[in-house]
Structure 1
Amino acid sequence: MDLGKQIFLLIMCLQVFLIAAVTDPQDFAALSAVKSNWQNTPPNWISIDPCGGSWEGIQCSNSRITSIVLSGMGLTGTLTADIGNLPKLQNLDLSQNMGLTGTLPPAIGNLKNLVYLSLVGCSFLGPIPNTIGSLTQLISLSLASNKFNGEIPPSIGNLLNLYWLDITDNKLTGTIPVSNETSPGLDLLVNTGHFHLGQNQLTGTIPPKLFSSNMTLIHVLLDSNQLSGSIPSSLELVRSLELIRLDRNSLNGPVLLDFTGLTNLSQLYLSNNKLTGPMPDLSGMNLVTYVDMSNNSFDASSIPPWFSSLQSLTSLIMERTQLQGQIPDSIFSVAQIQSVVLSNNELNGTLDIGNNYGAQLEVIDLQNNSITEFAQGSGYSKTLMLKGNPFCAKIGSTENYCSLLQQPNTSYSTPPNNCVQHDCNSDQISSPNCKCAYPITGTMHFRSISFSDLGNASYYISLQASMMDAFQSNQFPVDSIALSDPIMDEYDYLDLRIEVFTSNSDSFNRTGFSMITSQLNNLTFFQRPSSFGPFYFTLDNNGYFSGPNKSSNKGIIIGAAIGSSILVLLLLVAGIYAFKQRRKADTATEEAIRLRDPFASWDRNESAGSRPQINGVRCFTFEELKKCTNNFSDANIIGIGGYGKVYRGILTGGKVVAIKRAQQGSLQGNVEFKTEIELLSRVHHKNLVSLVGFCYELDEQMLVYEHISNGTLKDSISGKSGIQLGWARRLRIALDSARGLAYLHELANPPIIHRDIKSTNILLDDQLTAKVADFGLSKLLDHTEGHVSTQVKGTMGYMDPEYFMTQQLTDKSDVYSFGVIMLELVTGRNPIHHGRHIVTVVRMAMDKTKDLYNLHEILDPAISVGNTLKGLEKFVDLAIRCVEEWRANRPAMGEVVKEIENIAEQAGLDYDVEMLSTSASHYDSNEGTSLTTKSSLSTVEVFHILR
């Protein structure tokens, strides 16, 4: 077929399709322009008829596009002004697409019919356009967890139909806008039920004009900003309020609110401010369940009567509030009470819990008061903390309540639903109904809760039932839901892991996936139990549609390809002859290229992008590595993880290596392989694991490293490796690790952020020299930006909270993780234990006026018994600086190195001598065998370069 006939055929096909198309041409042109700036769009977006062709995520009415819902689809790119050319659009949900960045175009204001706008969990930046105020039909505006900066647009005050306003967790600055003669403001939103403005950088006072008696607000969340001044008394005019969060600001002066009119109030957070004057009186607030006024400077006073009068109260948190005098036993007898936290006050006299304490009372924390006696006849057997009181000094720390107690059990996991769970393959998870499947996974973040007993299963059972009812009543393909791992984060938000399992097969199709993730950010979708407050959802970045379960979507992809358009088929037919001819010509050259280019077969369409760029490392053949591992014998396996297996191998010449072999269909696959090979091929430092070579052949991906004989730092701290680490050795390990990280941050060009620093990624060689390992999640740092905008990855417990909130990765994220390792070295504890973070545990126990900062009870016995812990206090000071909440307050790794060197020098430790003597004579306490000898004979030398 000649070229003229091909062009004629193409024109005829286009004409046929344009005549038959259902979609309005203007809408098709606009959506096509938007699509052209996105990657990873749904696979059936290939026809020229979004409405007639049933494009995933697109809904239409009378040929006009009315809804775009693409939540969690992995979209990347920008949102262009073309979106404003969809005048009939009512619903736009692009939430949970971290790859969407750039500014929000002012043309968004052209969508006059828009009712629902959700961009939660993306990476949009810049100012929120003032044109947002033109969306007068808008009911829900959800812009949380992005990177928006600048001021809150006053024009939002024009959205008189708005019910839900959520701009939490951004970088918004300036004051809260209220109306004046020339400009609208948030005070005009009398029909709005939710003001969620927390976790920004708002300054100035809370304007008294913001609140009025004709408002219908339910939730006011202004927490974690930089607001100052007094709490406006106009807040008491909003009688519909159920939740007030003003904590973590710089509010000052007396609290002049009259709470008697706020009869619906359930939760009140005023902690971590600078409030003064009399403690607020909550008498008669019979619906109040949770009160936290900690860390303020109220007038010194005895315990007020209202503490005991709130019959719905579950949690009373009054740490550092200048309370004094005797504690009445009536405070413990409130029927629903679960937690009474009155630590760090001046309470005195005799503690008498009484015999009528509440049946649900789980925690009584009275640490660091002036209690002189304890009447022990109550029989109370739950968590009681009296450490730091004169009573404990008198009797010594012989009683559990006078030492650092075990924390109450906060673990929970949805049990099987009267069935026996199966052993699923490594990628699948067993559901509560005992079906192996690929669930949607992520975290629900609840911004307030009415309870403090995180181990109480009844709350989660009610929540699970409510969510299942919502999904089933809306005929969503959900078989079951699993909830687990409740933990309170640093903002007093409850983080709860969730897994949603499909009822149709073993995995969700793209439409079901998007619907579920969209509704998980929809407050009105679930009839939540009253125990749980407002929430938002963050989706795990687990490559759902690119991992092993992608085969379950094959039918969708095939169906989309078949039904997309006759045009595509005709073009394929027209070009097939040319393709075959071209293929014959190329086949011969491809083989030759592959022989001299190990990455000739690299798939450029993979998410890993272009082929790796490497230098200075050896390319092994598959047969070479097969031979040196005895055909990848199980006897040579020294590690197993999500990426694959690690084998011990002996190269020709006798060199021992560790070979990391990716399993077929690994979720990380090309991305991790490329990242590690590119980074390690160009960085060289004695405190970084060295890359010897690689293999990329026959669908195999293998990385070959130097062999590290003494396993991970985690194994040595825990005692699993049989190696005991004294204080001096731990200082040396900290210094080695810090030097490795400082090299990555300050000497590598461009700088490298590791992103997964943890004790299992610090390896110890036969001299116990520490080496940083596992660069699969690492990122290069842009000098101009100072950060990398990326989806959150890492390990819970070590993860930088500011990175988790902002999705901005910096070198200070590694500093935070390193600070956690420093605290591990001191305490020997896991980062998260019984629902409490090691940072919180150390901070609560620290008393700088006492020897070793009063940390005796939480120090690792391996370093605290029979040793002089020179420099420990300065080491802990440095660790606490490393784990500061905001990265600006953390030191750089270069500073960390210098400070640890100074600590070692001031402590009089000669590490060069110590290192030699240790390798020669350090003994395993269990075996009685010298470390050097033991290392040379070991056949199970663990090399953990796996996460």
Structure 2
Amino acid sequence: MDSRIRQLVVIIFIQIWIAAAQNQDSAAMQALKEAWQNTTPPSWNEGSDPCGWEGIICTNFRVTQIYLPSMQLIGGLPGDIGQLPELQILALSYNPGLTGSLTPAIGKLSKLTNLVLVGCSFSGPIPDTIGNLKQLVILSLNANRFTGSIPPSIGNLKHLYWLDLTENQLTGSIPVSKGTTPGLDMLTHAKHFHLGDNQLSGNIPPQLFNSNMSLIHLLFESNKFTGSIPSTLGLVTSLEVVRLDRNSLTGNVPANINNLTNVTEMFLSYNQLTGNVPNLTGMNLLNYLDLSNNKFSPSDIPSWFSTLQSLTTLKMKNTNLRGELPAALFELPQLQNVDLSDNQVDGTLNIGSNPSSQLQRVDLQMNNIVDFTQRLHYTIGLILVNNPICTESGVTDKFCSLLTNTTTSYSTLPNNCIPASCGAGLVSSPNCKCAFPYVGFFIFKAPSFSSLGNATIYNSLRDSLMTFFRKSQFPVDSVSLMNPYRNLDDYLVLNLEVFPSGELSFNRTGILWLGFVLSNQTFKPSKNFNTYVFIAQNYANFLAEVPVAKGKTNKSSNTAVIIGSIAIGGCMLVILLAIAGVYAFRQKGQAQRATQQSLPFALWDPTSGSGDVPQLKGARSFTFEELKKYTSNFSEINIIGAGGYGMVYRGSLPNGQLIAIKRAQQGSTQGGLEFKTEIELLSRVHHKNVVALIGFCFDHGEQMLVYEYIVNGTLKDSLSGRSGIRLDWLRRLKIALGAARGLQYLHDLADPPIIHRDVKTNNILLDERLVAKVSDFGLSKPLSDANRTHVTTQVKGTMGYMDPEYYMTQQLTEKSDVYSFGVVMLELITARNPIEKGKYIVREVKQAMNKSKPLYGLHEVLDPTIGLSNQLKGLERFVDVSLRCVEVTGNQRPPMSQVVKELEMIMELVGLNPGTESSSSTSASYEVMGVDYNDPYSNDSLLSYNGGFLPPELQPKENY
């Protein structure tokens, strides 16, 4: 009997342990669900068991894998993620709505093997705790907004295979080990170091490289590295791709660089390298070589040119080469493109009797060539402009003029069918079926070829994709590749469309599959393409579907309790069950408290005269204790502003997201009903060009508003020079358009429509990419159904921006905001205060204008930092729009929708895409001049307060 009792005791304690573990995972997943607004998959609303949710995989009741790419998630990654100790894969790529810092709690996931967050909007430093993930194999944090230095602790990740931190805003030097401090040199098993497109600086440390390394791809391009290329690089003989281009490297190229005999692509261009052109004899696998724009000593044409039998591309523009080119160079069998422009090549050009059949372009402009042997018979694209041969009188040879773009593009052709005529949004597939494709961009960082029209190579990529999808049993009908081009980083960019099989669109599970395998490098292209990044576009056409049960764990079969008749030992059983009951009750209490904290209005007291619980959209309530904790007890060090309303504090949520907390001081608080009305209004405002309300506190007699923290301060700070950010004309155009779109949203799309009433440069904030966000709704007024045209109200606002018609009539209309915005537009081009030394900006601009002169003769009033006069294309139209906005009467002013259209037309006029004014492609990096800027919440105006599941064959470990 004792044996049976012991067995029962063990069973009961196992059940207790399982219940506790399940509760912990369930609570953590519920926290994730609460942190992500509006866009979690529908199956997440069908029960509290996360093992039945799409994109979540459980093993033995524990959450082990989270796959949610391309799910339009919005919010942050809360610290609760650290409460999933069995998690092995976290893949959240292609969710640009995921923002805030990467929580240090990520370091608690000791079993994590894959952390894949490609194409999100995470910011702030990469937490040092990431070095605790000792099982990590893939670390992909590329295409985010991370700042700060690379954590040295990454060197502790002994199993790391793939390190990609590309396209962030990382600074500082590359960490290497020293004493007890780890560094990247310790990653001897890693095959990929991708650190390009950041702001890393300092020397590339010699200690980084050693002969024990397994690296195949070293991508350090487009940073700020200085000093010489370390000779230790030549020890890493496994290397296949080396990109050190677009830095500020100096000194000689190491003599042992030709030890890298496995390298197929080498980019050292756009540096300040000196000494002799490196000797690359023996690098017989080299396909693509770019040494352009360096400061090499004058050198004869290297003899090794003609020995590189695999060469497709040779770029050595402006490298001080001299002498006559050997005909054997052009007879290399795979040669496609030669650029030796701006050198001292001389003598007679001879491309040989049997040049490469793939040769398409030879650029030799700005050299000293005097003759051309094949002058009458050649088919390649040849450029000899600014050579002596083209100065002969009467010369009409076509090689003496610049070539037009003769590159043949590529697009997947229909498969022996006639393309279908499809409705709006639908696209005809290669199999001529209408569908909503999954669309994105392949970005190949080191392809082996130059020709953009090589259909054979692209067709092989398409075929390999389809083979991969079929083998994995993906619901894919066909794929289409199109529009290849080289971007400014010399990456090959290729558009990809993946079409669903048998349906008009993919369901969520299909998108989960596709997003994961393309972000996790599960698909491997051929060596012609080498390393790639895939960036997906938003997919919003999910097939209506029954909730997926695939992958749902059958709990009953795993949690059955052995029940038998036990007469002896009953007392012990009762005791054990009592213990279990107490434990379960405590867990239930914790769960209830967690649920209560997640409920936005658990502490709202209708008896206080504040009315019923507010009806909010996307905002949450905070307890006083929570905000006290997030601000270190409202410490003085966290005060970032003060005004008539009260203090403003910087805080940090558990997920690392920075927040700004406006805390009303005693005597300036509103009644509960008014406070409720205001937060209900603000919670309905959701637009990329409007500062977001995260939540509020109505607890312990406190009234606090919690906003997202905007890092680059006010537009006023940048125009005045206080922020240290230089705004040129194009940046000012983008800011104007962004702010106009924010106001248009308030007027036309908010429910109810909102009149801001205090539009000014102090209330337009700039985020980390200089995207404009309208802020401060302390004076805002909604338009009710009864008053859709105006609100009669006491006059409030800021002198200089205030609508004179509103001032005189006390009738507030949307055109009042238009007037204020017109003043903002004039402030953008003059950087002057609206009223300065008794002079009013509107009057000053009108008096200085002369439409018969360039730039309307406004040179004297324009901000001198805006740019050169010949760069101010579209400024006259900008002035016209601004002056229409500041007409004396409202009926003469355009609505904000028309202002937006006018600004979009100006954007197109200057060659910018108005649809992407807030994207990384157009939000260029800005110049910071070393001046500390005031916090965006430090001015009084901001303080005024008036009135899936993946099949086993797709698991990535097989690929390493």
TM-score range, shorter chain: 0.5 to 0.7
Q: Which residue of 1 aligns with 2:537?
A: 540
Residue 243 (structure 1) aligned to one of 241, 244, 260: 241
Q: Which residue of 1 aligns with 2:267?
A: 269
Deviations 1:72-95 (A, max 9, x none): 111111111100000000000111
Q: Is the 8 A contact 2:198 2:222 kept in 1?
A: yes
Question: In the alignment, does 2:927 pair up with 1:888?
Answer: yes
Residue 90 (structure 1) aligned to one of 88, 94, 109: 88
CA distance 1:78–1:349, shift in 2 (3 Å): same
Q: Structure 1: how far apart are the matches of 2:60 and 2:905? A: 49
Give the letter aligned to residue 737 of structure 1.
Answer: G
Pairing 1:183-262 to 2, within 5 Å after superposition: 183-262=181-260
Give the letter aligned to residue 215 of structure 1.
Answer: M
Q: Is the 8 A contact 2:874 2:909 kept in 1?
A: no
Q: Structure 2: how far apart are the matches of 1:735 and 1:41? A: 45
Q: Structure 1: how far apart are the matches of 2:926 and 2:915? A: 9
TM (normalized to structure 2)?
0.60
Residue 279 (structure 2) aligned to one of 269, 278, 281: 281
Q: Which residue of 2 aligns with 1:553?
A: 544
Q: Is the 8 A contact 1:122 1:145 kept in 2?
A: yes
**Secondary structure of 1:484's aligned partner:** strand
| Identical amino acids, percent of aligned pairs | 46
CA distance 1:672–1:373, shift in 2 (3 Å): farther
What is the deviation of 1:470?
1.4
Residue 335 (structure 1) aligned to one of 320, 333, 336: 333
Q: Structure 2: how far apart are the matches of 1:672 and 1:358? A: 63
Tell which has more relative contact order, 1 or 2 (C-alpha 8 A, sep 6+): 2
What is the deviation of 1:410?
3.5
CA distance 1:420–1:730, shift in 2 (3 Å): farther
Structure 2: 5+ residue runs without aligned partners? 1-15, 555-680, 692-743, 761-782, 786-813, 816-851, 857-869, 887-893, 930-960
Q: Structure 1: how far apart are the matches of 2:547 and 2:880? A: 48
Q: Is the 8 A contact 1:136 1:159 kept in 2?
A: yes
Q: How many residues align?
A: 627
Q: Structure 2: how far apart are the matches of 1:77 and 1:240? A: 41
CA distance 1:558–1:285, shift in 2 (3 Å): closer
Q: Structure 1: how far apart are the matches of 2:270 and 2:491? A: 15
Q: Which runs of 4+ in 1 moved over 6 A?
A: 18-23, 557-560, 602-612, 669-673, 675-684, 728-736, 742-749, 775-779, 793-797, 800-805
More displaced 10-residue stretch of structure 1: 379-388 or 369-378: 369-378
**Secondary structure of 1:204's aligned partner:** strand
What is the deviation of 1:379?
2.4
Q: Which residue of 2 aligns with 1:798?
A: 912
Q: Structure 1: how far apart are the matches of 2:358 and 2:376? A: 15
Deviations 1:537-593 (A, max 9, x none): 11223xx33xxx45x325449999xx9xxxxxxxxxxxxxxxxxxxxxxxxxxxxxx
Give the letter aligned to residue 544 of structure 2.
Answer: N
What is the deviation of 1:143?
0.4
Q: Which residue of 1 aligns with 2:718?
A: none
Give the letter aligned to residue 180 of structure 2.
Answer: T
Q: Structure 1: how far apart are the matches of 2:387 and 2:688? A: 61
What is the deviation of 1:56?
1.0
Q: Is the 8 A contact 2:412 2:430 kept in 1?
A: yes
Structure 1: 5+ residue runs without aligned partners? 1-17, 564-601, 613-668, 685-693, 697-702, 705-727, 750-764, 766-770, 780-792, 814-884, 891-947
Q: Which residue of 1 aligns with 2:40?
A: 41
**Secondary structure of 2:544's aligned partner:** helix
Q: Which residue of 2 aligns with 1:492?
A: 490
CA distance 1:161–1:508, shift in 2 (3 Å): same
Q: Structure 2: how far apart are the matches of 1:457 and 1:675? A: 49
CA distance 1:729–1:796, shift in 2 (3 Å): closer
Q: Structure 1: how far apart are the matches of 2:394 and 2:314? A: 28
Deviations 1:152-199 (A, max 9, x none): 000000000000000011111111000011200000000000000111
What is the deviation of 1:47?
3.2
Residue 738 (structure 1) aligned to one of 848, 866, 875: 875
Q: Which residue of 2 aligns with 1:774?
A: 901
Bigger-Rg structure (1/2): 2
Q: Structure 2: how far apart are the matches of 1:19 and 1:212? A: 47
What is the deviation of 1:261?
2.7
Q: Which residue of 2 aligns with 1:445?
A: 443
**Secondary structure of 1:250's aligned partner:** coil
Q: Structure 2: how far apart are the matches of 1:398 and 1:350? A: 18
Q: Which residue of 2 aligns with 1:837?
A: none
Q: Structure 2: how far apart are the matches of 1:179 and 1:395? A: 65
Give the letter aligned to residue 674 of structure 1.
Answer: L
Give the letter aligned to residue 98 of structure 2.
Answer: L
Q: Which residue of 2 aligns with 1:126?
A: 124
Q: Structure 1: how far apart are the matches of 2:254 and 2:117? A: 38
Q: Is the 8 A contact 1:355 1:378 kept in 2?
A: no
Q: Structure 1: how far apart are the matches of 2:114 and 2:911? A: 35
Q: Which residue of 2 aligns with 1:324?
A: 322
Q: Which residue of 2 aligns with 1:674?
A: 749
What is the deviation of 1:262?
1.7
Q: Structure 2: how far apart are the matches of 1:778 and 1:33? A: 44
CA distance 1:185–1:318, shift in 2 (3 Å): same
**Secondary structure of 1:297's aligned partner:** coil
CA distance 1:496–1:35, shift in 2 (3 Å): same
Deviations 1:11-48 (A, max 9, x none): xxxxxxx9999981110001111221111111121133
Q: Which residue of 1 aligns with 2:135?
A: 137
Give the letter aligned to residue 798 of structure 1.
Answer: L
Q: Which residue of 2 aligns with 1:380?
A: 378
**Secondary structure of 2:223's aligned partner:** coil
CA distance 1:383–1:37, shift in 2 (3 Å): same
CA distance 1:275–1:437, shift in 2 (3 Å): same
**Secondary structure of 2:75's aligned partner:** strand
More displaced 10-residue stretch of structure 1: 27-36 or 109-118: 27-36
Q: Is the 8 A contact 2:345 2:369 kept in 1?
A: yes
Deviations 1:501-530 (A, max 9, x none): 11141101111112212221222x223111
Q: Structure 2: how far apart are the matches of 1:801 and 1:329? A: 49
CA distance 1:363–1:32, shift in 2 (3 Å): same
Q: Is the 8 A contact 2:746 2:754 kept in 1?
A: no
Q: Is the 8 A contact 1:410 1:486 kept in 2?
A: no
Pairing 1:389-468 to 2, within 5 Å after superposition: 389-395=387-393, 398-468=396-466
Give the letter aligned to residue 538 of structure 1.
Answer: I
Pairing 1:177-188 to 2, within 5 Å after superposition: 177-188=175-186
CA distance 1:671–1:314, shift in 2 (3 Å): farther
Q: Structure 1: how far apart are the matches of 2:73 and 2:48? A: 21
**Secondary structure of 2:322's aligned partner:** strand
Give the letter aligned to residue 533 of structure 1.
Answer: N
What is the deviation of 1:776?
10
What is the deviation of 1:375?
2.1
Q: Is the 8 A contact 2:323 2:347 kept in 1?
A: yes
Q: Is the 8 A contact 1:165 1:192 kept in 2?
A: yes
What is the deviation of 1:200?
0.8
CA distance 1:140–1:508, shift in 2 (3 Å): same
Give the letter aligned to residue 148 of structure 2.
Answer: G
What is the deviation of 1:320?
0.3
Q: Which residue of 2 aligns with 1:849?
A: none
Q: Is the 8 A contact 2:252 2:276 kept in 1?
A: yes
Q: Is the 8 A contact 2:288 2:448 kept in 1?
A: yes
CA distance 1:512–1:327, shift in 2 (3 Å): same
Residue 528 (structure 2) aligned to one of 523, 528, 531: 531
Q: Is the 8 A contact 1:482 1:498 kept in 2?
A: yes
Q: Which residue of 2 aligns with 1:623?
A: none
CA distance 1:137–1:201, shift in 2 (3 Å): same
Q: Is the 8 A contact 1:21 1:49 kept in 2?
A: no
Q: Is the 8 A contact 2:881 2:899 kept in 1?
A: no
Q: Which residue of 1 aligns with 2:351?
A: 353
What is the deviation of 1:408?
2.5
Q: Is the 8 A contact 1:217 1:238 kept in 2?
A: yes
CA distance 1:800–1:317, shift in 2 (3 Å): farther
